[in-house]
Amino acid sequence: MPLQFVYSDQDFVPDVRWSDGERLGISSTASKFDTTIQAGWTDRMKAGLFRYHLGDLQTRILPGPHGYVAQLNIQRGIERRKPQEILSIQQEFNAEQFNFNKINPEEILFEMIKGVEGGSEKGQLHEPCRMVVLVNVSPLEFGHCLFVPRPSGCFPQVMTSFAIQVGIESVLLSSDPGFRVGFNSLGAFASVNHLHLHGYYLQHQLKIESTPVKPLVPEKGFYGLLDFPAGFLFYTESERVAEVAEAICRVTNFLVDGNIAHNVFLTRGCAPRERTQSEKERCSRRGVRVAVWPRASCFGAKEESAFNVALCELAGHLPFKNRKDYEFISEREVIGIIQRYLLPDSEFHTLEQQLTRHLKDK
């Protein structure tokens, strides 16, 4: 029986801030959520369950206004499981292919159980709402884990309101501003067609945390990103998580229905502003920013020599598979690669209008 991590809204960390310190370890400053993930993940690494040992990754910040965080992770490029062949954004689950029901049970860290505050039902959740957290055996970074809603349900890689809500709550449960969660749709470099989100720690600030936005449907927490790469942004603090999760799912469902691939990235971030924030505003991380990037689909495409454009890359985190690209690539080259995966401007603006109307209709 996997370890159960029982939590409620009372466990959310109301505000986190960046400091000059190193990664939060298992200490008095780490939340219970961080301690549970980090201790379990480190234990599995020592036990040899991973495809390779992940030490401190070589990291450099690319010169330029975007502040791209480049990391060298050669072993992931060599040792990770070959991605599945994806032919459609709405591809059905195939039990014959690899899925998370076939993993070594020791890879499971815990099950997330949201209890009812102040009542006798604490720890009791209906079966469809089980969220299983397991290690990613080909990690991108420290603490890289997967969030899999009820694995036995065999859900395809299509976002659900439950999955996105628990993703947001996971970020709120962490006291580390470097904890991130993300989702790749089919056709957007998802490598397994079994519903899952990624979670990991990256101890560098990203521009997406504070970049200015324009209001689209602010009452639903929906905004447009004003800077590259073109996309949408949701924002929520702890009081509106379920409501905003539902709005996010309406957007991702709209994209799936339109056969539009997409990547989603969740991080602690500043409240939405149409201008550059003050230093005080930029330091505070009371809420969660959820970026949604519609993009061109990739079916059976060869890998880029430098990197694939998925949730990390769009957010400004660039994992490289070879040293030459890592050491010599420029911000201008990164922007050029990412640009090829984005929707043409005319298509994006049409989609922005459609989604704005779609969210206003209800």
E strand or H helix at 108:
strand 108-114
Give start and end residues of each alpha helix (H) in the chain: 32-46, 74-79, 161-173, 241-257, 279-283, 311-315, 323-328, 331-339, 345-360
Decide: 153 and 174 in contact? Cβ < 8 Å.
no
Q: Which residues contact 93 (CB under 8 A, 6 or more apart)?
A: 99, 154, 155, 156, 193, 194
Q: Is beta strand 179-184 parallel, antiparallel or unpaired with respect to 197-201?
A: antiparallel
Question: Which residues have a catalytic role annotated?
Answer: 196
CA distances from 225 to 15, 84, 174, 216 (A): 23, 31, 25, 10
State how far the Cα of 178 lies from the Cα of 165, in Å rounded to an integer: 19
CA-wise closest residue to 317 among 265, 282, 352: 265
Q: Residues 183, 185, 187, 190: is their CA dihedral positive or negative?
A: positive
CB atoms within 10 A of CB 350: 12
Contacts of 256 (CB under 8 A, 6+ apart): 89, 90, 158, 159, 185
Give the residue from 238, 88, 246, 110 showing the smallest Cα distance to 171.
Answer: 238
d(CA 200, CA 209): 16
Distances (CA, A) of 163 to 17, 95, 170: 26, 21, 11
Give the whole-angstrom CA distance, residue 232 versus residue 216.
9
Rounded Cα–Cα distance for residues 285 and 239 (Å): 15
CA dist 160 and 137 (Å) reads: 24
